[in-house]
Chain A
Amino acid sequence: MVSFYTRHSLHAALMGHHMLKRVHFPSSPLPYMLVAPQLAITLVFFIWPASQAMYQSLLIEDAFGLGSEFVWFENFEVLWQDQHYLDAFLRTAVFSVLVAALSMGTALILAGFAQRVVKGAMFYRTLLIWPYAVAPVLAGALWVFMFNPTLGIFPYFLEFVGVDWNHYLNGNQAMALVIMAAAWKQVAYNFLFYLAAMQSIPNSVIEAAAIDGAGPGRRFVTIILPLISPTTFFLLVINMVYAFFETFGIIHAVTQGGPGSATTILVYKVFNDGFVGLDLGGSAAQSVILMVLVVAMTVVQFRYVERKVEY
């Protein structure tokens, strides 16, 4: 795309040299008015709260916000000395990578199967988007019931294959449960994007490969996967941000970070320390760190992963 526009404008510039000295548009307030609502939303709902969080991270405040003391970076220093906080980084990385991989992988497989179905497409696509509309804390509640060691249907079946399910005591089982719940909620969203991407691949390309003797599996790996790589990249960014920021509701409903601290990921600590424990400064400091982390991660993704993407 970039090269296309560069070439195009170069061409226009060369042509213009002969015909007009300068191509210029009359200046108008219209473009500014058109972007103004978006800018306003960004300022009010992102820049302003983010700056508030940064300011708050430098304060020590009581629970009601009645008294506060400016302490520079003390809240951050306390965090760096807290081994339990540092442990949460690795846990968050494991959680986020697995949530993204599981939800994107499942969606990719489902979309691969579903793309040929044309009859009733509207109907099943509508049904498949439903889980995306479920609030994270409710998604968590559903999985809590299904996996309750006493009442749940899954532990009942797992017992037949010799698995003693108790995520209240077993940290790995608890982690597996919150990963499944978080990934499940995101599958519908990923599915829609993958399906749209696959349907935009020209049939002629697939047919040509088929004529050359490539089976469905080969066609999927060598034709479809590379052609949908922009979608995969977009979904990777979206899913990582989702796993980092939006999963605290699921964890609150399913494990409350336990057993021990087996499922205490960074964003859950932000939520729990801030909204349950009312440690506003400490929570704000954690959310600033999380913000910086996700910005850095997204930059890395755009710089290094995007290079492998063919548009």
Chain B
Amino acid sequence: MPFNSSTPVMWYNKTALDAAGASVSKTWDDVKVTAQKLVDNGMDCGVSFGWQSWVMVENFSAWHNMEMGTKENGFAGFYTEFSFNNEAVAARLDGIAAMTEGNLFKYGGRRGDSLPMFTSGECGMWMNSSAYYGSIKTQSEVEFGQTMLPLDTTVADAPQNSIIGGATLWVLGGHDDAEYKGTAQFLTYLSSPEVQAWWHQETGYVPITTAAYELSKAQGFYESNPGTDTAIQQLSLNKPTPNSRGLRFGNFVQVRDVINEELEAVWAGDKNATDALNAAAERGNTLLRKFERAAK
């Protein structure tokens, strides 16, 4: 059963944007302009992000309806090859690396390590999971909001849809009927509209049923907390294509580590994005072949 599902969104520091006279960014061109305004107005950095493979490669590809790997991102079976090492992704990453100049962009680590940069008011914009809502709500010293991921107008005219990340609850075989009865009751409880709506509203994870979404709406949650339905809007923006349905790759945890390593070389100025992405795709393909051997 899907449980804590989320998708990356763009968080922004409303107080800082207002102070700098900047508006909420819709495109990557806007992001750059806004970042410049924020820094000019005395902020330490314009924009940052976490979970960079997920946000900047996987979701950037889906959002612009580009494949990340062959065979429908792996859904059509084994023997896939990564194809995220394309010109569109490379140009975007080089663009971000160029923003390091003047601190328009500042890299703050893997996973959610850069969260304090946003909540402490160092960076005015931050791209990461919608599920940081709970943390930001309790930690943030500033007024904040969330909006859809920016569009790269050189790649697409309109966004496609973003893809989920998160976890799934599994039930394993080989137990007594009584235990499965208990498990079923527990899963029924977890997925009930009340529990799901509460979980969604407290954490920022998306509700896993339409009923929970409708309940949140009826409770007036989105009206009193504008922007909190951004993740839902993004996920259901358009009918998913083979490029935006999701990802299904073996050894993907290691592949993400490889992408982390190569992207960090780009942010540090050691490599250009094309070289880094080619290296990441090559190392990733090796890991895919290794997975196929093991899973045979």
Contact = CB atoms under 8 A, between A and B. Distances in A.
Whether A and B are associated in the same complex: the answer reads yes
Interface of A: 60-63, 67, 69, 78, 84, 148-151, 166, 168-171, 256-261, 272-273, 276-279, 281-282
B116 A148 contact: yes
Contacts of B116: 148, 150-151
Contacts of A276: 253-254
Interface string B281-293: 0010000001001
B268 A169 contact: yes
A260 B110 contact: no
Contacts of B264: 169, 258-260
A256 B110 contact: yes
B254 A259 contact: no
Contacts of B109: 168, 258
B139 to A, nearest CB: 10
- Per CB-CB distance, the 10 closest pairs between chain A and chain B, nearest first, are A168-B109, A259-B264, A277-B254, A150-B116, A62-B294, A260-B264, A151-B116, A62-B295, A260-B261, A277-B253
Contact of B261 (A61, A170, A258): A258
Contact of A258 (B110, B122, B290, B294): B110
9 contacts: A60-B293, A69-B294, A148-B116, A256-B111, A258-B261, A259-B261, A259-B267, A277-B253, A279-B251
Contacts of A78: 290
B67 to A, nearest CB: 24
Contacts of A67: 294-296
Contacts of B151: none
A279 B122 CA distance: 39
Contacts of A277: 251, 253-254, 257
Contacts of B267: 169, 259
A12 to B, nearest CB: 63
A171 B113 CA distance: 16
Contact of B265 (A63, A260, A278, A282): A260
Contacts of A282: 290
Contacts of A168: 107-110, 113-114
Interface of B: 107-111, 113-114, 116-117, 120, 122, 251, 253-254, 257, 260-262, 264-265, 267-268, 270, 283, 290, 293-296
A281 B295 CA distance: 13
A297 to B, nearest CB: 28
Contact of B120 (A60, A151, A256, A258): A151
B176 to A, nearest CB: 22
Nearest to B276: A260
A171 B268 contact: yes
A281 B290 CA distance: 11
Nearest to A61: B294
Nearest to A151: B116
Given A168-B107, A276-B253, A259 B293 contact: no
A246 to B, nearest CB: 22
A258 B50 CA distance: 14
B268 A170 contact: yes
Given A150-B108, A277-B251, 4 more contacts: A78-B290, A149-B108, A258-B110, A279-B254
A258 B295 contact: no
Contacts of B268: 169-171, 259-260
B108 A258 contact: no
A82 to B, nearest CB: 9
A60 B294 contact: yes
A60 B294 CA distance: 6
Contacts of A259: 261, 264, 267-268
Contacts of A60: 290, 293-294
